[in-house]
Structure 1
Amino acid sequence: MNHNASLPVPPRRPRRRTLQIVLFGLAVLGVVGGLFVVRGPLLMAGPMCMAGRWDRCLGTFNGVVLMVVVAVPVAVLVAWVLAWRRRAAGVAGAWRMSLAEVGMVHGTVPLVWLTLMPGAGAGVVPARVSLVPLRDLATMGTLGIVGNLLIFAALGFFAPMRFAALASVPRILALGAGCSVLVETAQYVLRLDRVSSVDDVLVNATGAVLAALASRRWWRAADVARPALVPVG
């Protein structure tokens, strides 16, 4: 009888618990920091939304920011329900998967919405395109560059945590660039009085990659929960 047969090593539950605590702490810090930064726009948009003027609420930067903040409790509830259902079904990494899914949607859709808001000359002025790399970068300004870096940051941060097929820098770069090209194409086709620029694509993709690198230590978090086999001696 072979006494050196492979035996399963019990999963490292403390490490999984630490991951959950870290993700929750980052989410709380992000919400608190975001509220502090956008407290001015929230105070300005609040009366419009409370009065039911949805054109002013969802059609302005301040209104969209307010909707993002208001939707935070809903996003947390959805993540909890998804995680609860997955844990009940015995799915490994239930919290990680659920937070990643909700984070991708909640952190990306509002920014894309802002990017697709029509300008004052939408439908009137001709569509414009800029295909010379780095020509528009100098005119973006600090706020423009930061905004473009953030558009697909949530997607880059959470996508490789949720989908193993995307857990590599080149694939996240391709994902960010592809999504950005779709947005720029929509701006051009819909004539939204915006310039469809290759620099926007470059900065958007860079933001996705930087965010992905920030979450890289958690890309393979699901592997920790899988039983490992001890080599046969």
Structure 2
Amino acid sequence: MNLDASLSAPGRRARRIAGLGLLVLGVAGGVYVVRRPLMMSAPRCMAGQWHGCFDTFNGVVLMTLVALPLSALVVCALTYRRRAAGVASAWRLSLAEVGMVHGTVPFVWLILMPGAEPGVAPARVSLVPLRDLVTMGTLGITGNLLVFASLGAFAPVRFTALASLPRILALGAGCSVLVETAQYVLRLDRVSSVDDVLVNTSGAVLAGLVSRRWWRTTARAEAGRERPEPAPVG
């Protein structure tokens, strides 16, 4: 009997439960801190009104938090379906799919939210690196780091073709350039800045480093399944 193997499974389960508990506490603490501005948008969001909910920062953040239980249910449903089909790493793949969508779409929505004079104000571009960075402030830098963080963390877990830091960097940079270009082409009265691209890409890479153990494990498992079995001797 392999005692180490028998003890490793409960240990991993305990670590997962502890990590999930810390994540829930962190989200709850963040919600408590910003509860007052979020609740300002609650009546209109609950009434399904576009103005005052989906066109405001507070409203989008509130609806993102409200949708968390639904995303959790989708993860459970996908995991159940994959396990029934005998798919390995069912929970990890399901969490990656839902996580990169739930954690990315709201930020892209906020980025593409029009300014005060969309279609009227001239399109603006800032191509000097680090010039806008000093004006972002802590909140702005943090927000830009989070834009494609979920994509950088979960995409390489779901797609083994992206399981390397250079590819995560290319993914984050490409998505950021696409969004900044959309801001310019659609004339949303927002500044398309190279610093936004740099910070967005850095966030994706940093998140990829955090989830590196997950996507390297998935990549090794995929490589093991694709490796042909040795031919029998004799």
User: Is 1:103 matched up with 2:99?
Assistant: yes
Identity of aligned residues (%): 70
Partner SS, residue 196 of structure 1:
strand
Match of 1:197 among 190, 193, 199: 193
Partner SS, residue 125 of structure 2:
strand
Map 1:127-146 onto structure 2 (within 5 A). Answer: 127-146=123-142
Partner SS, residue 92 of structure 1:
coil
Partner SS, residue 159 of structure 1:
helix
Shift in Å at residue 156 of structure 1?
Answer: 0.8
How many residues are aligned here? 220
Question: Is the contact between residue 41 and residue 65 of structure 1 (CA under 8 Å) also seen in structure 2?
Answer: no
CA offsets 1:191-230 (integer angstroms, 9 cap, x no match): 000010111000000011111111112223334696999x
**Change in 2 beyond 3 A, CA 1:30/1:97:** farther
Distance in 1 (alpha carbons) for counterparts of 2:6 and 2:168: 29
Structure 2 unaligned runs (5+)? 230-234
Report what 2:86 is aligned to: 90
Letter in 1 for 2:180: E
TM-score (norm 1): 0.85
Report what 1:176 is aligned to: 172
Which of the pair is proportionally richer in helix? 2
Report what 2:157 is aligned to: 161
Report what 2:66 is aligned to: 70
Root-mean-square deviation (Å): 2.6
Report what 1:55 is aligned to: 51
Distance in 2 (alpha carbons) for counterparts of 1:209 and 1:221: 18
TM-score (norm 2): 0.85
Q: Which moved more, 1:12-21 or 1:132-141?
A: 12-21
Structure 1 unaligned runs (5+)? 1-9
Match of 2:204 among 181, 186, 208: 208
User: Is 1:147 matched up with 2:117?
Assistant: no
Partner SS, residue 192 of structure 2:
strand
Match of 2:216 among 210, 215, 220: 220
Q: Which moved more, 1:82-91 or 1:164-173?
A: 164-173
